[in-house]
Amino acid sequence: MTRPIYAIGDVHGQKSQLEDALALIERDGGGAAPVVFVGDYADRGADTAGVLDLLIQGRDAGRDWTFLKGNHDRMFEWFMEPEPRHDPYLLTDYYWLHARLGGRETLASYGVDAAPRRRLKDVHADARDRVPQSHLDFLRGLRLSHQNEDFFFVHAGIRPGVALDSQTEEDMLWIRSGFIDHAQMHPKLIVHGHTAVDMPEHQGNRVNLDGGAGYGRPLVPAVFEAGEAWTLGRNGRTPLTPQPVRPD
């Protein structure tokens, strides 16, 4: 019998929502349920520090949890290097502390004032003092993908036509165009986040779990079992019905 696998989309600093999602998973599958987190733990929400604490505690307690890296997690990781590193995939004039990206909120959760009036080098120095090494180690240790015989879990998506084991880090963290609009089947069902929608959706060849928690919408976990998918809520499982996929 195929064991169910659970997944959680982009958390974006929403600790209380993460706790609720994990409680729903435990109610459905028990404390030993395998969970894949598809990344973007940081930014926008008020408690990135608390989110990382919770994930690290679960890992250290021996939970069967798999953590993938999102583009926001990499931006946070790169900012915390001895010299802040800019992500070249950001739009022109964007940087991690831009109001639209949420880096300020992340640093605020560690007690760092990242207001625009402050010099970047002072913000960076405060962050280096206050962000725990355990959090930096966690960010550096995040994986880019996870797969089993049926599913390929990744943050943003894949480049269609490229073998799953040949995908680039940039695509797995950033891709939208060419993946979101791809209508044919992939070698496996792709489970991803990154592109915010109103609710998790099953497009037949991919499942998008980014339900917009970073913008105040609920963080809705999903479960995959015996070729089917469901979202989890207070009343249990709700089928995640796939849209028809155009044949190759």
CATH of the domain at 230: 3.60.21.10
Query: Domain for residue 244, yes or no?
Result: no
Cα 162–chain centre separation: 22
Looking at residue 7, what is its pLDDT? 98
Q: 248 in a domain, yes or no?
A: no
pLDDT at 89: 87
Other Cβ atoms less than 10 A from the Cβ of 118: the count is 14
- Domain extent for 17: 5-239
Asked, for residue 246, whether it belongs to a domain, the answer is no
pTM: 0.96
3-state secondary structure of 178: coil
Q: Which residue, chain included where needed, has tokens 């960076």?
A: 124
Which alpha helices (H) appear in the chain, and where do they start and end?
A: 15-29, 48-60, 71-79, 103-108, 120-130, 133-140, 169-174
Whether residue 45 is contained in a domain is answered as: yes
Domain count, the chain: 1
Looking at residue 248, its pLDDT comes to: 56
- For 198, the 3-state DSSP assignment is coil
From CA 230, how far away is CA 81, in angstroms rounded? 39
CA distance 30 to 115: 43
What are the pLDDT tens digits along the chain (248 aa)? 478 999 999 999 999 999 999 999 999 999 999 999 999 999 999 999 999 999 999 999 999 999 999 999 999 999 999 999 999 888 777 899 999 999 999 999 999 999 999 999 999 999 999 999 999 999 999 999 999 999 999 999 999 999 999 999 999 999 999 999 999 999 999 999 999 999 999 999 999 999 999 999 999 999 999 889 999 999 999 999 998 766 65
Does residue 110 form part of some domain?
A: yes
> What is the predicted pLDDT for the residue at 244?
78
Q: What is the pLDDT of residue 152?
A: 97
Q: Are 44 and 12 in contact, with CB atoms under 8 Å apart?
A: yes
Please provide the DSSP assignment of 48-106 as one string.
HHHHHHHHHHHHHTT--EEEB--HHHHHHHHHTSSS----TTSPTT--TTSTTT-HHHH
Is residue 18 in a domain?
A: yes
